[in-house]
Amino acid sequence: MNAVTETTAAEPVSGVEIFVPLNKLKKSPRNARKVPHGTSAIEALAASIAHKGLIQNLVVEPEVKDDGTPTDFYFVTAGEGRREAMLLCAKRRTMKKSDPVRCWLDTENDPSEISLDENVTRTPMHPADQFERFRELSETKGWGAQEIGARFGVSAHVVKQRLRLGAVSPKLLQVYREDGLTLDQLMAFAITEDHERQEQVFESLHHNREPWIIRRDLTAANVPGHDRRAIFVGEAAYEEAGGTIIRDLFADEGGGYFEDAGLLDMLAIEKLREVAAEVQAEGWKWAEAHIDYPHAHGMQRVYPEPVALSDEDEKRLEAAWVEYDQLVEGFDSYDEMPEDVAAKVEALDAEIDAISDKRHAYDANVIARGGVFVVLNHDGTVRIERGFIRAEDEALADPQPEGEVIDLKAVEDEQAEGDEEVQDIEDEEVGKPISEALTRDLSAHRTLALRVALGERPDMALIALTHTLTSQLFYSYAEAGCLEVSPTVTPLGSHADGIEDTPLAAKANAAHEAWVERMPRDVADLWTFIVALDNEDRMGLLAHCVSGTFNALRLPWDRKPRSLQAADRLASALTLDMAKDWTPTVDSYLGRVTKAHILEAVTEGVSEEAARRIADMKKQDMAQAAEQLLAGTGWLPTVLRTPEAEAAQPSDAEALEAPTEDGEDFYAVAAE
């Protein structure tokens, strides 16, 4: 083969290698590729040329004028992408536009055919070969992802993905080469580098080889990164303690798995104990740390008392609120604010909370005898529950002094004097108390009169009912109310595991705590407190008390069809939508019902076709597949569905808002 070293050919001699300056090369009008190369492809070629030079020469033909004379320029018949990549290198000053480019001069073949031939008659490398070669570069050359990426024009993250795929078991890579696995399935196996485990899971797979099933089986004993313990402990602390996180490079952020669940639990408890020690430093007798809230502790609970703020705190709180309102005006969220404004708003928010917390405080005697539970919330935050009194600490705050000598003779003399006084009273008819029988008689008449009067005053009936319910639900004083109404609150923790750690339970607890902070310390002041509330707050307190007694549990030993029917009516009136707070998962439903129920759920929630696709799966695989299919569909089992109100009748909510035809209010109609 002959080579011409001149930058241009004196005459169009075909079949020789020539060197042409980059700025003398042009795009051929007869290039078969009409859709241009993508930016990423040009970047990759430019990186390759910058590090390794031009590997494959360009094929060119001379540009000629209308009269057939050459113009000293050449059309690139094959290699337009490489030409554009070299122009990019020149722009980045890694080469000059005057640098010679190795070309193959071809004037015998049709340029259009050559261009087409170059793009058609070639076989791309199998991805598995590419993955293994990347891994070899890393192992033999010692190059990191950044270096390899720079040499091939791809991001470091892409290199890490290819290195991980190249590290999959050679046995599985060969199955992938033979089309026994898809790329998505191979990516799922790459979640771990344990070849033995990969091959074990591969052998256990049946006809269903969905990537999510492979990931599930590979990480069955691990803790996902979105678990509350993982969020609380954090990746850095877990890895510092020697834990390993399995990274899924092909999933979104947070796709890692904590390999050692025992270590994670230990770190979570240790961190909770540190928080408990800080809380106990407030003066509490004890503080216990638990991952889950210990519902069966059986202890009495005392709540903080209202405390008046100092004049200084009141002034600062008022000023802080004014400044806060001025800063947030015109903004809907922190994201919309400039950084300096957002920082000031967050600081003011924290200061306002700190001052507001001073409005309630525990009695020093309660702190000295009481304790605290420090637990982990569902979202990985710490939950602190104060004010619990153990049975052995329930003694009176101010017990009688011990060791006092009692003069028995003096006591006997006092009793004798008392007996004489009683005798004197009995002898005097004027001061003699009325009989118990007469007392009952008169109090019965008074009770009847109060019943009638109360029945004519719905506003006072509302206060009396609210007072009775509140005294029992917040103070545990059944005798404090004057109505024979006794609320029953059924704990739900024993009926549904983990229900107390859900967002809904957190919302209910927050509502209760908000009222606790407003309650007077002494139940004797409760009536005055309720009377002083405005109507909206009073109705809100009543609604909170009533809501705690609601019970729609379906228990096999407790048949109550009329109660459940009333619960359905209430659900319809409230337009309850359980899909907002509950989703069908393997744990919550699908793994606890028959295959027929699973298929019925998929049929209703997705389609009959989707149900047919999973009909032949094993129970566990079917439940997992159904969870994926039903996600986001809003499907609910019959027990959780809200019955639709009959079209012919107004809803209960509408009836509450509108008077009846006779002008009577809803309460009168409901009483009928």
pLDDT digits (tens, 9 = 90+) for 37-80: 888 888 888 988 888 888 888 999 999 888 878 898 999 999 89
Tokens of 27: 């795009």
pLDDT, one tens digit per residue, over 361-384 is: 888 888 999 999 999 988 888 999
Tell me what the mean pLDDT of segment 620-628 comes to: 88
In this predicted structure, the answer to whether residue 649 has a pLDDT above a threshold of 50 is no
- pLDDT of residue 146 exceeding 50: yes
What is the CB neighbour count within 10 angstroms for residue 424?
Answer: 10
| Mean per-residue pLDDT, 546-572 | 75
Average pLDDT, the chain: 80
- Residue pair 567/490 in contact (Cβ under 8 Å)? The answer is no
For residues 387 and 301, the answer to whether their CB atoms sit within 8 Å is: yes
Report pLDDT for 559: 65
Note whether 610 and 562 are within 8 A (CB).
no
Query: Of 99, 123, 119, which is closest to residue 50 (Cα–Cα)?
Result: 99
State the Rg of the chain over Cα. 40
Q: What is the mean pLDDT of residues 628-646?
A: 82
396 Ramachandran zone, left/alpha/beta (phi>0; psi -120 to 50): beta
What is the percent of the chain where pLDDT is above 70? Answer: 85
Q: What domains can you pick out in the chain, each with its CATH number?
A: 3-120 (3.90.1530.10), 280-393 (no CATH), 423-551 (no CATH)
Examine the pLDDT at 418 and tell me if it is beyond 70. no
Give the pLDDT of residue 479.
Answer: 65
DSSP readout, 72-141?
EEEEEEE-HHHHHHHHHHHHTTSS-TTSEEEEEE--SS-HHHHHHHHHHS--PPPHHHHHHHHHHIIIII
Query: What's the sign of the alpha-carbon dihedral 327, 330, 333, 335?
Result: negative
Is the pLDDT at 460 greater than 50, yes or no? yes
pLDDT for the residue 429: 53
Residue the block writes with tokens 């961190």: 271
Whether the per-residue pLDDT at 4 is higher than 70: the answer is no
The predicted pLDDT at position 309 comes to 85
Three-state DSSP class for residue 238: helix
> Would you state the pLDDT for residue 494?
64
Look at residue 237 and give its three-state secondary structure: helix
pLDDT at 558 over 70: no
From CA 426, how far away is CA 560, in angstroms rounded?
Answer: 57
| Cβ-contact 576, 642 below 8 angstroms | yes
Structure token digits, residue 251: 């999933």
Q: In what order do the strands lie in the sheet with 70-78?
A: 3-4, 16-21, 100-105, 58-64, 70-78, 25-27
Range with the poorest average pLDDT among 37-51, 388-402, 404-418, 455-469: 404-418
Q: What is the pLDDT of residue 663?
A: 41
The whole-number average pLDDT for the span 517-528 is 82
218 strand-pairing partners: none
Query: pLDDT tens digits, residue range 569-603?
Result: 777 877 888 888 888 988 888 988 888 899 999 99
State residue 415's pLDDT score: 52
The gap between the terminal CA atoms of the chain, to the nearest Å, is: 109
414: confidence class by pLDDT, cuts 50, 70, 90:
low
Helices of type H across 153-295: 156-166, 170-177, 183-189, 195-204, 211-218, 228-233, 235-240, 261-280
What is the Cα–Cα distance from 78 to 59, expressed in whole angstroms?
Answer: 5
* Average pLDDT value for residue range 279-292: 93
At 335 the three-state DSSP class reads helix
- Give the integer Cα–Cα distance in Å for 602 and 626: 6
Looking at mean pLDDT, say which of 3-12, 138-147, 389-398, 401-410 comes out highest: 138-147
Answer for the pair 25, 74: CB distance below 8 angstroms, yes or no.
Answer: yes
pLDDT tens across 230-245, in order? Answer: 999 998 999 899 888 8
Pick the residue with more confidence: 376 or 297?
376
Query: What is each CA distance from 661 to 304, 404, 672, in whole angstroms?
Result: 49, 75, 15
Residue 562 has pLDDT above 90, yes or no: no
pLDDT of 428 higher than 70:
no
Greater confidence (127 vs 626) lies with 626
How many C-alpha atoms does 4 have within 13 Å on its Cβ side?
18
**610 pLDDT higher than 60:** yes
- Average of pLDDT values for 547-564? 73
Q: What pTM, to 2 d.p., does this model score?
A: 0.49
Tokens 């990347």: give the residue.
134
> What kind and span of H or E run contains 634?
none
Separation CA 360–CA 308 (nearest Å): 8
Residue 668 pLDDT > 80, yes or no? no
Closest CA to 229 of 163, 286, 292: 292
pLDDT of 403 higher than 70: no
Query: How does pLDDT run across 179-208, given as a tens digit for each residue?
Result: 888 888 888 888 888 888 888 888 888 777
Nearest CA-CA partner of 42 in 77, 92, 7, 106: 92
**Beta sheet of 245-246, edge-to-edge order:** 223-224, 257-258, 245-246
Q: Give me the amino acid identity at 650.
A: P
From CA 405, how far away is CA 427, in angstroms rounded?
A: 36
- C-alpha distances in Å from residue 319, one per residue of 128, 313, 331, 352, 513: 66, 10, 20, 10, 27
